[in-house]
């Protein structure tokens, strides 16, 4: 399914802000000793950056490449969450 995403600077700003908040939360959790959740939060932040990037026409990826990237990042986050859960 190919859908052309319209440009929305406001939504891109919201997604970038959410990614920044997730990065800050990852740093906070790493400093306070919760290292198991840090890779998951950083992976989610990268996913948010890619979603925000799709909202800006200048930085949009082709739809097939975008879907592949999001799927691979999501698999990475799930694997890291499972590895972190099984570690402790």
At residue 8, the 3 state secondary structure works out as coil
> Could you tell me the two tokens for 4?
């052309």
| Token representation of residue 48 | 């948010």
Its pTM stands at 0.83
- Classified as helix, coil or strand, 34 is coil
CA–CA dist 30, 7 (Å, integer): 35
The 10 Å Cβ neighbour count of residue 12 is 18
Cβ pair 8, 54 in contact under 8 A: no
- Per-residue pLDDT for the chain (88 aa), expressed as one digit of tens each? 566 667 889 999 999 999 999 999 999 999 998 888 888 899 999 999 999 999 998 889 899 999 999 999 999 888 888 887 776 6
């Amino acid at each position: 399914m190919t859908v052309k995403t319209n440009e929305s600077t406001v939504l891109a700003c919201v997604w970038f802000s959410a990614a920044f908040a997730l990065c800050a939360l990852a740093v906070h959790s790493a400093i306070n000793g919760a290292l198991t959740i840090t890779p998951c939060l950083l992976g989610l932040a990268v996913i948010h950056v890619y979603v925000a990037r799709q909202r800006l026409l200048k930085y949009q990826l082709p739809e097939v490449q975008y879907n592949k990237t999001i799927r691979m990042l999501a698999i990475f986050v799930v694997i890291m969450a499972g590895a972190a859960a099984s570690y402790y």
